[in-house]
A = this chain, B = another copy of it.
């Protein structure tokens, strides 16, 4: 049975969460994806990261980040100001509209987390986190 396979359970958990999270954002009438939200949120605190740094911090590919940034900019949630000291890069600033969306989404995200983790204690959460970290570590070690 697939349900015995831990990675199937993992996949199911994260996908269930993503579906619920996105559905709740959509229902609130906010037009953003959770991945875009995640990137935008990182940029709120660090506006001078390279795409690779952003990618590392949200555990995505540089190519994915590039496309997400393009969409965020195109939708006016982000502004890209050329950096004087490096012609390849830009400073990525969250716009007014971007702030509005971040503000609108934050409570939804909090609710989502509460819903998803209902009935799970702090101890269990810590254990879960620890196990996930170990799996991540194991998968990174070069064979």
Does A57 contact B139, Cβ atoms closer than 8 Å?
Answer: no
Give min CB distance, A142 to chain B, whole Å.
Answer: 10
Which residues of chain A in 91-143 are interfacial with respect to chain B, using CB atoms and an 8 Å cutoff? 113, 115-120, 124-125, 127-129, 131-136, 138-141, 143
Which residues of A (1-55) have their CB < 8 Å from a CB of B? Answer: 2, 5-17, 19-20, 24, 42
A133 close to B17 (CB less than 8 A):
no
Is A66 located at the chain interface by the 8 A CB criterion? Answer: no
Known contacts A10-B14, A11-B14, A20 near B139 by CB under 8 Å: yes
- As for how many copies of this chain the complex holds, the number is 2
Cα–Cα, bound, A7→B16 (Å) = 11
Which chain B residues lie closer than 8 Å to A6 at the CB level? Answer: 113, 117, 125, 128-129, 132
Task: Report A21 CB to chain B, min CB distance, Å.
Answer: 8
Supposing A2-B57, A113-B7 touch, asked if A139 and B24 sit within 8 A by C-beta, the answer is: no
Q: Which of A10, A15, A141 has the most CB of B within 10 A?
A: A10
CA distance A16 to B116 in the complex (A): 22
Instruction: List the 7 closest pairs (A to B, CB-CB), nearest first.
Output: A16-B139, A13-B132, A9-B132, A20-B139, A13-B135, A16-B136, A10-B14
